[in-house]
Structure 1
Amino acid sequence: MPHVEVTSSTGNTRFKYTICTPTDAEATTIDPSLPTLLFIHPVSIAEHVFHAQFADPLLRCSNLVSFDLRGGHGDTSGDKVPPYYGQVEAAEDTIRLMDALELPACHLVGMSTGTIIATQLAVTYPDRVLSLFLVSHLCLEIPPEVADGHLEICELWTSAFPDASTVLEDVVYEAGFGNSQYMFSTHQVSPLVTAMMKITYPVAMEKWGYEHLDQFRIMNLDFHLRREPFSKTSLARIAGSVKIVHGTEDVAYPQSYSREFLRRLDEAGVDASMHVVRGAPHYLLPDFSNQINPVLYDFILQNDDRLNNAPVPDHVQSPWTDVFKQASLESEDSLFDDCIIIHPRRHHHRRNSLSSVTLCVA
């Protein structure tokens, strides 16, 4: 797995990253003749959340790039993030990573808190961002009830590690249950999401255990509470088009939240539009890829002429295929076929009411 050393104003980082081209799931460089899509994951999981996008032949007409964020995510390591670490610092880290990988101006794809970083990049470094595809954006003021949920899950996770030698697994499980509700709106999740959680939680328990609870709080609580909405002046700096994607079963953020951000973008003179996915939760990219991936492809096609003549590869493989196999995704209901992923089927379940909104912890 490739890594690259990056230095920014907040420290030194060894970023884990992934580059996929139409012909190579583990490329070392991009194909400069094609558009480049840079994916930014939420501050809660890791880059493998984009598994269903990197396995899509249409999207693999372009270069697809992703990475694990700092502060305890995935296989990225290095200096701890400072207490004030937020969207501005994360955007600086991302631009330094782009420089280190010699990436040209990119189309940014962010989900949840990844949208804050992507938008910050677009207003701070507009010449490096060709467009923004924002899935379940968090670019406005945080609602008070959502802030309370973030605080609740942070306290719950912290209480699961009372000392250096103790882990209260039942409390971890309770935090995980709230995590699943926030991200996927259901008690029961798909085989793909189940595998994602099996990959993610052991890493979270190691990197956000007793000795690193400060990093957990900074990334999973403070990052949200201190996030700053974007002013009209800053939004006007966005050079490319913006597509907002909202799922109607998002338990934390109503459709009005996305429509308000769309209104602010319009007022700032940004070319912006919105796509609504019926029945989709906050983290909608894994199980609703069959609906979202074509929208993303068409959006890039509208904003980048280089995609017009790009051939669609016959077969592609996700860079995380083996990782998901090890997480026991294989079964008679498997999403794999000869190591090639098929678009996940949607799983419909009754929405559960929540006494409070809780935050993802892994």
Structure 2
Amino acid sequence: MTERMVEVDGVELCTESFGDPSDPPVLLIMGTGASMLWWDEGFCRMLVEGGCFVIRYDHRDTGRSTTCEPGRPGYTGADLVEDAVRVLDAHELRAAHVVGVSAGGALGQLLALHHADRVLSLVLISTSFAVPGDRDLPSPAEEFVRFVSAAHVDWSDGESVIEHQVAYARALAGGRRPFDEAATRALVLHDIERAHDFAAVRNHDSLPDGDLSQAHLSSIAVPTLVIHGTADPVFPLRHGQALAEQIPGARLLALEDAGHGVERADRSTIAAAILEHTAADTAD
């Protein structure tokens, strides 16, 4: 594992790579508001053992990357798309297999639409459409909406932040499986400890889209795998099904009782699916 700070255009991004740089590259894009730690190191090593060179990185305002004053990010969602390109450039990669979860999946779609030459294949986990449109998709689960509406956190109080983050992770899990609170709490603590200013993650909640022209998902031309939990409380399963229907040739893998994100119980299944997907693309 190699940690590296990437500095481009005045932006510092913290990256970590695993494996042999000569192997097929996989770029992991986490959801907004989440650092690269939410791509579990063990999961990254599963991909390495399958013959991939893996890169994960901290978004701006998470982890050790460039951090702005809370409430004043000074960048857009389009800049987060360009950050993924910056990471590829810094690692001297012409293109990579792109795996995105939640909002990271939306960023992956936008990469495939606006930087098609940089994307070898696409894996979209727990996500929905990156481009607007009325598709009559279901709203988040009522229980999740109630949690978000009632949640209160004092960002100046470390304990309040920890309890909120753990409770949020529990809500994302969907409620159909046992929740590993101890492991989640340890991850949250590590996430907070390595951040420049953890309160800055709130900046991701109100980012403008930025200058990205609209394009239809039917324009995505790379092999695409959609992975979606049947108990996702943020984007119910229909979101994943609709993505797979709109992107030409896309396949859907539904994870029974899985919530939102890459859960421990599904890591080996997801890693195996990614390896099969990227291997098929390489063979083609």
Q: TM-score under structure 1 normalisation?
A: 0.65
The CA distance in 1 between the partners of 2:194 and 2:138, in whole Å, is: 29
Matched, 1:291 2:269: yes
Partner AA of 2:152 in structure 1: L
Q: Match of 2:5?
A: 3
Matches within 5 A, 1:232-251: 233-251=215-233
Matched, 1:156 2:152: yes
Deviations 1:122-143 (A, max 9, x none): 1110011011101101325697
Deviations 1:43-96 (A, max 9, x none): 23321222232121665411111111102x112135669657443221112212
Matches within 5 A, 1:111-130: 111-130=101-120
The CA distance in 1 between the partners of 2:145 and 2:277, in whole Å, is: 35
The structure whose RCO (Cα within 8 Å, separation 6+) is larger is: 1
The CA distance in 1 between the partners of 2:18 and 2:163, in whole Å, is: 36
The CA distance in 1 between the partners of 2:7 and 2:166, in whole Å, is: 35
Unaligned runs of 5+ in 1: 23-29, 210-214, 307-362
Q: Match of 1:271?
A: 249
The CA distance in 2 between the partners of 1:40 and 1:121, in whole Å, is: 11
Q: Match of 2:90?
A: 100
Choose the corresponding residue for 1:262, options 230, 233, 244.
Answer: 244
Partner AA of 2:264 in structure 1: P
Q: Match of 2:35?
A: 46
Q: Which moved more, 1:104-113 or 1:236-245?
A: 236-245
Partner AA of 2:120 in structure 1: L
Percent identity between matched residues is: 20
Q: Is the 8 A contact 1:59 1:297 kept in 2?
A: no
Partner AA of 1:15 in structure 2: L
The CA distance in 2 between the partners of 1:199 and 1:283, in whole Å, is: 18
Q: TM-score under structure 2 normalisation?
A: 0.81
Q: 1:116 Cα shift?
A: 1.2
Choose the corresponding residue for 1:188, options 175, 179, 184.
Answer: 179
Partner AA of 1:131 in structure 2: S
Deviations 1:302-350 (A, max 9, x none): 10139xxxxxxxxxxxxxxxxxxxxxxxxxxxxxxxxxxxxxxxxxxxx
The CA distance in 1 between the partners of 2:81 and 2:105, in whole Å, is: 11
Matched, 1:222 2:218: no
The CA distance in 2 between the partners of 1:227 and 1:191, in whole Å, is: 38
- CA 149–138 in structure 1, closer or farther in 2 if over 3 Å, else same: farther
Deviations 1:91-148 (A, max 9, x none): 1122122212211211001111111111111111001101110110132569765896
- CA 151–230 in structure 1, closer or farther in 2 if over 3 Å, else same: farther
The CA distance in 2 between the partners of 1:290 and 1:105, in whole Å, is: 25
Q: 1:14 Cα shift?
A: 1.6
Choose the corresponding residue for 1:19, options 17, 41, 45.
Answer: 17
Secondary structure of the corresponding residue to residue 287 of structure 1:
helix
Q: Is the 8 A contact 1:139 1:229 kept in 2?
A: no
Please give the root-mean-square deviation of Cα atoms over the aligned residues, in Å. Answer: 3.3
The CA distance in 2 between the partners of 1:145 and 1:287, in whole Å, is: 23
Partner AA of 1:292 in structure 2: I
Q: Is the 8 A contact 1:190 1:287 kept in 2?
A: no
Partner AA of 2:164 in structure 1: A
- CA 175–260 in structure 1, closer or farther in 2 if over 3 Å, else same: same
Structure with bigger gyration radius: 1
Q: Match of 1:300?
A: 278
Q: 1:246 Cα shift?
A: 0.5
Choose the corresponding residue for 1:69, options 53, 56, 59.
Answer: 59
The CA distance in 1 between the partners of 2:262 and 2:171, in whole Å, is: 11
Unaligned runs of 5+ in 2: none
